[in-house]
Chains A and B, each alone.
Chain A
Amino acid sequence: MSNNSSQPSFAENRRQFLRHNSLGIGGLALAWMLNQNEATAKTKLLPKNRQSFDLAPKTPPKPATAKAMISLFQHGGPSHMDLTDPKPELTKFNGTEYQGEVGYSFVNEASKTLMGSPWKFQKHGQCGTEISELLPHTSTIVDDICLIRSMHTGANGHEVSIRYFHGGIPGVLGRPHMASWLLYALGCETQNLPAYMVLTDPGGPPVDSTNNWSSGFMPALYQGTVLRPKEPRILNLNAPAHLQGIPQQQNLAFLNSINQRHAEQFSNNSELQARIASYELAAKMQIAATDALDINQESKYTHEMYGLDRDETREYGTRCLIARRLVERGVRFVQLFLNGQPWDNHSNIGTGLPSICKKTDQPSAALVKDLKQRGMLDEVIVHWGGEIGRLPVTQNQGAPEKHGRDHNGQGFSIWLAGGGIRPGMIHGATDEFGHKAVDNIVTPNDYQATLMHLFGIDINDLIFLHNGQEQVLSAGRSANVVEPILA
């Protein structure tokens, strides 16, 4: 029967053991245990009531088109009417009073004066999607992306909507990130790298800080691992500077030898051997991560494509490139954040908006192009977008050049590409002024259901037991797969 040299999986071991030893077990207990095993092995749904958690790769319950995802999160609320959602009516009525109701966050500077976009829009690509002159690089990938112009969170606050996007309920803390759900369901293809990685900005943490990558009520195993914006990019994964390289190799060799000598006293006790092996794996992870982060392996062409040769794009471009290298090595989910919320253009939108566009536009577009060239876009979803958009009326900060726009959770744009998303299309629309989503409204819960669907998961079937209660990502709220955007 079981042979020490080949190592059957735990479940196999257990089943085999139970079968071969049935004589030793009371009939009922045996039947029950076998039943449990079969139930787990055959279940077409996802892990219900699983008591132990791991990151071993698991087959999705339904056919999947996506294997990994990169989310380029744009904190603050990108101004859709200036970037992705042209509004001729708004331009036409520029300077006049808006007749509808508006919800403001900054009451003291509130006005109802409509503000047309000062930037020009043009049709691009074969699909003819109109994009603002602020995003010249994004304009070149319109045939590869699906632009959703009808996002709706219903709430104007940043945190409220961010938590909605990540955790499934507006404003509620302590829930697992969508990526945690993915890991819980599917594990990860690589065991040499953290399965879910977060790339933060060297300028500082994003708004809402570490809540952005919490595994909430799920085990810490499923929490995002932060890739720091500078070396060492991963804490605990990389040795401190003074141990890196040969010193730590010597440390490990020394540890291994004292551990082996110790183990000899215990006739090669398998738990001791497992711990010895776990240090080897830890060392392997360090090498794999170091390799993944070494962008010098990339060609000059690639560096230039991501804008690594220019000051304004170098940093974000580096992170976009690292994101690609990570999913290439089997990481399941990567999310990029910005410092604070640079898209929060309450004032000086005339200079603030072009500035953040310059930082992110080229690298974001390069990521899609690069993935496509490598044939990876079929299996990797790229998401670009913030948690809200902005109002069509002026936030009045005195002189016209100081004007900006206040928050708007009623209607805004994001785009998705790859992994089974239909390319070269626009989905949904806002009203004539870009204030509210009116056509084919998409909520963050719909967004989540759609992404999970691409990963081969029905959002309502993925259940986690917390405090004895069955939890799903969308918390029982309406969550529909947005069929028209599927390839």
Chain B
Amino acid sequence: MPLHKNIQSFDSIHSVTVRAVILFSLIVHIICPILADEPLSFEKDIRPIFRAHCFDCHGATDELEGGLDLRLVRFIAKGGDSGPAIEIDDPNASLLIDRIASGEMPPGDSRVSEQELATLRTWIEQGAKTLREEPETIESGLGITPEERDFWAYKPVESLSDQELREKVSDEITTNLLDKQFILETVEQILERKDQVPSEQASNQYLREELIRSGLDQLIAKEASRDTLIRRAYADLIGMPPSYQEMEGWRNMQDADWYSRMLDELLASPHYGERWGRHWLDVAGYSDSEGYTNNDTIRPWAWKYRDWVIHALNRDQPFDQFITEQLAGDELMGPLEGDLTTEQIELLTATGFLRMAADGTGSGANTPEARNQVIADTLKIVGTSLLGLSIQCAQCHDHRYDPIPQQDYYAIRAIFEPAMNWQKWKAPNERRQSLYTQANREAAAMVEQEAQVIAKQKQEELDRYMADALTKELERQPEDQRAALQAAYQTPAGERNPEQVDLLKRYPSVNITPGNLYQYIPESKTKLEEFDKRINEVRSKKPEEQFVRALTESSEAPPETKLFHRGDYQQPKQTVLPHALQITCPEDNLTTFEAVNEKIPSTGRRLGFAKWITSPEHPLFSRVIANRIWLHHFGLGIVTTPADFGKLGSRPSHPKLLDWVANEFRRNNWSLKNLHRTIMQSRLYRQIRGVPVDPALVNEATDLSAAAKVLLRDYRYSFSELIRLDAEAVRDSILKVSGTLDDSIGGKPINIKEDETGSVVVDGPSGRRSLYIQSRRTKPVSILQTFDAPVMETNCEIRVNSTVATQSLLMLNGEFVLNQAAALANRVADEAKPIPAENLQSTPNVPEPKKSHWSYGFGQFDQTTNRIKNFQPLNHWTGNQWQAGQALPDADNGWVLLNRNGGHPDSPARSVIRRWRSPVSGTAKIEGTLSHGSPNGDGVRGRIVSDRHGLLGSWEIKEGGTATPVKQVMVEAGDSIDFVTESMESNTSDSFNWIVTIKINEGASSQLTAKSDRDFSGPEDSVDLIPGQIQRAWEIVYQRSPSHEELNQSMQFIGDQIRIANASSTFDSETSTVRQCVTNLCQMLLSSNEFLYVE
């Protein structure tokens, strides 16, 4: 069956591995060796099995278990203590097969699979062939074989020159070199698969020419719509959608170069550094806490490294320099003389990269294990982020799959050990670099002197309290024991004689300590704390001491790096000098790093390493970085395992394209922004995604042979059709559209807190972007974690993408989303423009919302008539309260205001009045509490007044609360009941709360309940504004107008919701009915796939 069918049925699976395999199977197509005609060989087929399962004990080290060495077939044939390991004549009688099949070997949990065992059997049956004649003797260790060297990732980066590309793919098809490279390689791959289809005897040459000449432009799908391109570019480069205005600007721009102008503008945005900084912080393992121990102590200065990354990317620092400074900024900064220069601070900050690993050594675990763990994690971060290799697997033994001897692991470790010496370890606080200047230090010393004076006073006070407590406690004890007890107590604990020890045991309450002093003299606690408070106040006058979390070397001689047997620091073996991974160097030319560089105070090892990996000869670094950039643009890397280019990783779908991109990156002075332009300008990036070549188009192409048509129909470049916004982008995009985004750049992290249920939320209403939220390893922020933000164990090589109901619950019911939807609805209401009526014909009818029975005003209670006079409505709504004018006090009417729970009166002539008009007739019962909180002023008076019956009750209250019941009053439909609050003599501090419930016909079938707080709302929006608001909501959230159908459907939705609200007696909403319905609409737009996914 055609392969692409498989892909479709697996789209829902977001496993990196599976994707890797799919892609790999589609493109690379290596025939399984067992089934090939070619006989199995030791080098290609058997050695990898031994490497995975056997060499640890049988070849990797000089100590051979059972005397058996599996490194050469000659050795295997000779066998170990038990005799020959293979029997060519009778494979099943071979000890090798026998031991493995019986499960005896390998020891432990790991098992040789059936497949592998079958391969071993077949190989023996075929005569245990080797590819080459084996040498007489070999050096210790496994070495690296030619087959291992032949692996794609270790070969030099190569690519066709521009000239060659132009010659091979004509400019008629595309002018873009990236596209040319892609087309060329794709054609080559298609031709390789040619044998699978009836080829109509077409020669390779013919088919190639045919594809390139005629049908090839359709290999790449059509260009996506301009809207899609704009949204795609915004999401990719700044992680937030465009505003509607921005969208309109680009959408309507007539210039041919609008697209590149847009890219330039986005690349120049300071938000670019935030977006791409976040990608880098994932691989660097950025966290604001130390992890490792349960304390998970805060790292107060990690954010300086985060900001450094953002700024370095924003100024498009060449990527080789970007990496070099992170690996060796301290080695570049020159001698330290006096205060640090700005440049030196930057360079030190960059080395924070090497301080990102979880580190428990400053929070309770300063042990050799913990220290070595920091080093191991740092090497893992370096290996996975820069080399794309799991070098950490070679910590305890030679790598099981990749040609990385254990020796190499320690050679890399030797590069970092001068700065991370586990035997002379510095805990995080000891190694941070202070940014204090000499002047700062002097100022601080002065302040400290002042603090010490108070500290002395505190000690004297404490001594007095202790003496008092003792005196009083002794008085409670038998008189004859007091002297002895006092003597025992005052003798230092270590010097007491046995009688004294015993005595104190018998009278345990005499054991007064500063810690339990408060149990004896309760007020001592607050008194002593006051001293602490004063000391802190004084100390707070010191100039703030800032730090950077840097990596530096001590000036001492570097430590000798030892290879640890089985990775155990307690079993150090031979000394290892720093050098590059052997597999990344030519066989006869190992790159080494000087153990000590005399020109700089540090060893220079890391600087040497940085120079080596960024050099053109290095096979991995440029590919690894190019692949990461590709991954973030397309949602899928050319190598889908970005941190593993080794044998267990996936193979590149387009190896030559990867090399071309890697070369292009370097040739353009490692400019990341240029690389973005190169990729984003390509047709490959700009096309409609995930769409296979249109079969109709292929069929119509009459000049294509049938064979070519079959090939084309099966082809699809496997990148994601849609990419879900990542966690930060979900939150940031919501903030942006709701209008509550605070888009300032950098600075200290935003605090988090646990709410009452233990879920971690932003502390306060911060609209800062998500990468500024404090990231603690043990306290992941719920909304981010729910959308798959990583919880940093070590680092995050690639994010997962889940689709689970908890995300939906959060979108439906979560406080953040509800608040944001309300903010968005308010924004929509502010910005909406009416839609002309002629455009609204045939739209569904929206009913008027039920009028509120409540109104809000002010006036006076007339004692002579017992009624209200001069009721005037409050006309200004602030969003949460009614008042007389825009500002308080209002020029004419002073302080009058009413809110959900209460309000504030002005003079008695301007008492505030909450009026309820009864929709029905019946018996009313009123309950409520009038309260006044302030100790100042003279309190307020509340009255309940019926327009039919006059005064129903009156209460005065100052600093307290009183119930305001009216047991029974008859009302007719249309009657009003007023809740009047007036000032006494003065109107200062007259804020009051007065929540009332009115129950009509309680217990009867026609009962009705009104609640002043529940029913409180602002002015009702006119339903005439709804179409304009729907239009505006669409524009803000989706940056487009709703279709006619969408507008109709939204009108229907809002109409239905108003009908429900009208039918309900308890539409408990924060706001007016229409606003609430628009809020709901906004919330659904924010929850929708069109918002959460980018094409």
Contact = CB atoms under 8 A, between A and B. Distances in A.
B720 to A, nearest CB: 8
A122 interface: no
Interface in A382-406: none
A17 B45 contact: no
B1080 A272 contact: no
Interface in A263-284: 263, 266, 269-276, 278-279, 281-282
A239 B115 contact: no
B809 A285 contact: yes
Contact of A235 (B757, B803, B1084, B1089): B757
A228 B814 CA distance: 15
A177 B778 CA distance: 14
Contacts of B1090: 258-259, 262
A88 B656 CA distance: 88
Interface in A2-53: 2, 4, 10, 13-14, 17-18, 21-35, 38-39, 52
Nearest to A36: B17
A219 B800 CA distance: 14
A258 B1046 contact: yes
A335 B524 CA distance: 40
A27 B123 CA distance: 14
Interface residues of B, number: 107
Interface stretch (B290-298, B403-411, B835-843): B290-298
A236 interface: yes
Interface stretch (A141-149, A241-249, A431-439): A241-249
B115 A30 contact: yes
A257 to B, nearest CB: 6
A104 B803 contact: no
Interface of A: 1-2, 4, 10, 13-14, 17-18, 21-35, 38-39, 52, 101-102, 104, 106-112, 172-175, 205, 209-210, 213-214, 216-217, 219-220, 223-226, 228, 235-243, 246-248, 250-252, 254-255, 257-259, 261-263, 266, 269-276, 278-279, 281-282, 285, 466-468
Given A239-B813, A266-B721, A467-B292, A10 B13 contact: yes
A173 B373 CA distance: 21
A258 B1081 CA distance: 11
A58 B9 CA distance: 26
Contact of B32 (A25, A174, A254, A278): A25
A282 B508 CA distance: 59
B444 interface: no
Interface in B999-1058: 1046, 1049-1050, 1053, 1056-1057
A250 B757 contact: no
A27 B1060 CA distance: 63
A274 to B, nearest CB: 4
B785 interface: yes
26 contacts: A13-B10, A14-B13, A24-B25, A26-B28, A27-B45, A32-B401, A35-B113, A35-B116, A52-B15, A102-B508, A108-B509, A110-B509, A112-B508, A173-B294, A214-B758, A226-B756, A235-B813, A239-B812, A242-B1068, A250-B1053, A258-B1090, A263-B1089, A266-B721, A272-B1093, A275-B803, A275-B1089
Given A24-B29, A247-B1080, A254-B1081, A236 B519 contact: no
B647 A174 contact: no
Contacts of B13: 10, 13-14
Interface string B257-282: 00000000000000000000000000
A110 B808 CA distance: 55
Given A242-B1070, A269-B11, A108 B1046 contact: no
A210 B754 contact: yes
A229 B32 CA distance: 62
A242 B803 CA distance: 27
- Per DSSP, chain A at the interface is helix
Contacts of A274: 12, 803
A106 B520 CA distance: 11
Given A21-B25, A274-B12, A246 B32 contact: no
A240 B1067 CA distance: 12
Contacts of B1076: 242
B31 to A, nearest CB: 7
Interface in B1057-1095: 1057, 1060-1061, 1067-1070, 1076, 1080-1081, 1083-1085, 1087-1090, 1092-1093
B32 A220 contact: no
B508 A23 contact: no
Contacts of A22: 32
A14 B18 contact: yes
B1080 A28 contact: no
A23 B32 contact: yes
B66 interface: no
Given A17-B18, A31-B113, A271-B12, A279 B1067 contact: no
A246 B34 CA distance: 63
Given A26-B30, A27-B45, A250-B1057, A108 B115 contact: no
B56 to A, nearest CB: 17
Contacts of B516: 107-108
Contacts of A214: 758
Contacts of A38: 113
Contacts of B1053: 250, 254
Given A247-B1080, A275-B1092, A281-B808, A108 B780 contact: no
A310 B543 CA distance: 63
Contacts of B690: 266, 269
A246 to B, nearest CB: 5
B814 A236 contact: yes
A228 B14 CA distance: 35
Nearest to B27: A24
B206 to A, nearest CB: 26
Contacts of A28: 48, 401, 647
Contact of A240 (B648, B778, B813): B813
A108 B520 contact: yes
Nearest to A48: B109
B900 to A, nearest CB: 14
Nearest to B1092: A275
Contact of B358 (A18, A251, A467): A467
Contacts of A259: 1088-1090
A25 B1060 contact: no
A255 B1088 contact: yes
Nearest to B21: A25
Contact of B294 (A34, A172, A205, A210): A172
B124 to A, nearest CB: 17
Interface in B787-839: 791, 793-794, 800, 803-805, 807-810, 812-815, 818
B21 A33 contact: yes
Nearest to B1080: A251
B722 interface: yes
Interface in B290-308: 291-292, 294-296
Nearest to A4: B9
A282 B813 CA distance: 10
Contact of A21 (B6, B15, B506, B647): B6
Which of B759, B809, B1088 has its CB near the most chain A CB atoms (within 10 A)? B809
Contacts of B1089: 259, 262-263, 272, 275-276
B785 A220 contact: yes
Contacts of B426: none
A282 B809 contact: yes
A453 to B, nearest CB: 23
A243 B6 CA distance: 42
A416 B509 CA distance: 38
B757 A27 contact: no
A472 to B, nearest CB: 16
B1068 A271 contact: no
Nearest to A21: B25
A24 B1046 CA distance: 46
Contact of B34 (A27, A238, A242): A27
A270 B11 contact: yes
B366 interface: no
A107 B519 contact: yes
